[in-house]
Amino acid sequence: MMPTHPETDTIHSIIQKIASLQSRGDKYFPKGIFPSYRQNKYLLYKRPDTNIFYTASIVFVLNQLKSYLPVESQLIIGDITAKSIQNYPAFQNKDGLKTYNFWQTPKNGHASNHFPNGYIFRHSEHFRLPDDIDDTSLIYLTSKASKEDVVWLKEKLQLHANLSDGSTGKRQVKNTFNHYKALKIYSTWFGKNMAIEFDACALYNLMYLFEQHQLPYNEYDIDTYYYLSGIIKRKEFISHSFQVSHNYATAPLIVYHLARLLDTFTNTPLESYRKDLIEFVLLLYEIEKVSMNRILLQTSLLKLSRVNDFGFKDEIEDCLKADSPFSLQIPEPDFCYFLGPLLSSYENPVLQFFAPMKITQMDWKCEAHEWVLVLENLVERNKK
């Protein structure tokens, strides 16, 4: 439990707490990895999970905040980053390509390490995941990837995008709204045999990477932005959160990822929705019950309103006063930042029906990452 009085804790002490949670190397987690656990409370299931997603996500946010912090804090973040990125090669494509996997990849005759520390799924190739755009984007963003590498990645992605004429032949997405099926949108997965799938949060991270390197838009970028605009305009990120983002699956998380993009880049095709998004977030805040989601909505408001509050200053101030990050319990029992829907990639309509049900999903929990989200909220408040 965090202390109830802000003055008894500091931003620097939270950074120290995050650093203390980074693995020093043990049976489950290599040195530099932030421990996380996959779980399903309905099945009484919990396993330590060695993945790169949470480690790269933590490094991304910390380095976004770094320049707003004192030197002592910056040094700790530098140390966290150095220890983290030394793990990236273990998650790189098994054939040496510059794409990355959620789990450690098989190399030098070693077996794949999907569903690590488990007893059933890890023995089935069916549950082995291909490389994905989310982990790849976060690793590129946190490892100073060259522009040449990002251009290569963009060309590689086109081979796996919806309706592309790649080496696997032309394939079309099944599990999205009909009005997006004819668009050339980047798919979550690089795998040859994996279904085409759209995840808005992963796409926000990908477009963040492309915007950072100022790459000119191609037809895939244009269609991807059309999709990301459409889910705002039609409010689908609220009404159909799981369908819009299978791995994040809540409106607060979707708008949080969108706010990160708009906070840094103000000239994307999504800019015209900034005012609408502030209104949506204020409405979402009124009905949200999960404390960490409310903190994420606050952070989103701070990021979205930095350029222009569109006359919502008083409402935003009331929102910021309503919840304090210092009242949170960490880990937050009812909060899940990242989930694995075991059935979402299947194209069978019966399995698609069961995919949104929590009993068919794995939640991934990471204490250090939740502290990072609290830290981000506090730093954003100070920036304001």
CA torsion through residues 295, 231, 245, 96, sign: negative
Structure tokens that stand for 72 in this block: 């002592």
pLDDT band, very low/low/confident/very high, at 3 (cuts 50, 70, 90): very low
Kindly tell me if the per-residue pLDDT of 100 is higher than 90: yes
Residue found under tokens 């019966």: 350
Letter for the amino acid at 358? K
- Cis, peptide link before residue 331, omega less than 30° from 0: yes
Kindly tell me if the per-residue pLDDT of 112 is higher than 70: no
Kindly tell me if the per-residue pLDDT of 327 is higher than 50: yes
Map residue 379 onto helix, strand or coil.
helix
What is the per-residue pLDDT across 304-325, written as a single tens digit (0 to 9) for each?
A: 999 899 999 999 999 999 888 8
Write down the pLDDT at residue 360.
Answer: 66
Report, as an integer, the average pLDDT of 218-229.
98
Kindly tell me if the per-residue pLDDT of 279 is higher than 70: yes
Write down the pLDDT at residue 191.
Answer: 79
Kindly tell me if the per-residue pLDDT of 5 is higher than 70: no
For residue 201, the surrounding DSSP H or E stretch is helix 200-212
What is the per-residue pLDDT across 136-147, written as a single tens digit (0 to 9) for each?
A: 999 999 998 999
Map residue 11 onto helix, strand or coil.
helix
What is the per-residue pLDDT across 339-377, written as a single tens digit (0 to 9) for each?
A: 987 666 666 676 666 666 777 678 999 999 999 999 999
Average pLDDT of the chain is 89
Q: What's the Cα-to-Cα distance from 276 to each of 106, 232, 264, 301, 314, rounded to whole Å?
A: 45, 8, 18, 12, 16
Pick the closest to residue 238 from 249, 227, 229, 247 (CA basis): 249
Cβ atoms within 10 Å, residue 280: 20
Write down the pLDDT at residue 362.
Answer: 83
Kindly tell me if the per-residue pLDDT of 296 is higher than 90: yes
How far is 323 from 344, CA to CA, in rounded Å? Answer: 34
Write down the pLDDT at residue 8.
Answer: 35
Give the angle 261-209-223 at the CA atoms, nearest 5°. Answer: 75
Q: What's the Cα-to-Cα distance from 257 to each of 61, 175, 224, rounded to whole Å?
A: 11, 21, 15
pLDDT band, very low/low/confident/very high, at 105 (cuts 50, 70, 90): very high
What is the per-residue pLDDT across 233-275, written as a single tens digit (0 to 9) for each?
A: 999 999 999 999 999 999 999 999 999 999 999 999 999 999 9
Sheet with 45-49: strands ordered across: 45-49, 36-40, 361-365, 338-341
Expressed in angstroms, the distance from the first to the final Cα of the chain is 26
Pick the closest to residue 246 from 181, 294, 289, 187 (CA basis): 187
Task: Looking at the structure, give the CATH architecture of the domain made up of residues 6-383.
Answer: Alpha/alpha barrel (1.50)
* DSSP sequence for 162-178: TT--STT------SS-G
Structure tokens that stand for 11 in this block: 């931003």
pLDDT band, very low/low/confident/very high, at 166 (cuts 50, 70, 90): low
Give the angle 200-288-202 at the CA atoms, nearest 5°. Answer: 15
pLDDT band, very low/low/confident/very high, at 326 (cuts 50, 70, 90): confident
Report, as an integer, the average pLDDT of 149-158.
97
- Report the percent of the chain where pLDDT is more than 70: 87
Write down the pLDDT at residue 174.
Answer: 87
Domain ranges of the chain: 6-383
Least confident of 103-107, 182-186, 211-215, 293-297: 103-107
